[in-house]
Amino acid sequence: MNFTFSSLEHGTCVVKLWATGRYGFSLPKKVDITTPAGATCTFLYINKVEKRVSMKAEPGNRMIVRIAIGAFLAGVPPDGSTVEIDPDMPPYVGKLTPVRLDAPRAPMRVRPGKSHARTRLDAECGTPP
């Protein structure tokens, strides 16, 4: 997941969330924030509370990004350093803009005999076959 946000001190910064595992549910999660000047800071989120002990839900990916941005704006760590964040830190409340990559999506994988399989290029564009 890639985002941008704007701050008065740094300008428009780029945020990349690196979530491991299938569908991005695994831990740890890494957030890289890059300033327009090229300085990069890395934030790690590791859930240290055992799920059976705490009734509090783990924050979602966007909330982890907001917490990392809040930590970044509270005091920028030296370039190249890694800072661990936790869900009790104050999140960023400003606007996050999602950034889509230019790479095309992979084609659908379907069996040719299925009724929902792509038959012709015209069918993809919405024109009747």
Is 62 contained in some domain?
Answer: yes
What Cα–Cα distance (Å) separates residue 94 from each residue in 35, 47, 69, 97, 123? 17, 25, 10, 10, 42
Q: What is the pLDDT of residue 25?
A: 65
Which residue from 43, 40, 49 is spatially nearest to 18, judged by alpha carbons? 43
Q: What is the pLDDT of residue 65?
A: 93
Q: What is the pLDDT of residue 46?
A: 84
Is 122 contained in some domain?
Answer: no
| Banded pLDDT at 82 (limits 50, 70, 90) | confident
The DSSP H or E segment spanning 72 is helix 61-74
CA gap 16, 43 in Å, rounded: 10
Q: Total structural domains in the chain? A: 1
pLDDT tens digit sequence for 6-45: 988 889 999 999 877 666 666 788 999 999 988 889 999 8
CA gap 26, 22 in Å, rounded: 7
Q: State if pTM tops 0.75.
A: no
Is 119 contained in some domain?
Answer: no
Is 124 contained in some domain?
Answer: no
- Write out the residue range of the structural domain in which residue 71 sits: 2-101
Amino acid at 1: M
Q: Is residue 32 within 8 Å of 15, Cβ to Cβ?
A: yes
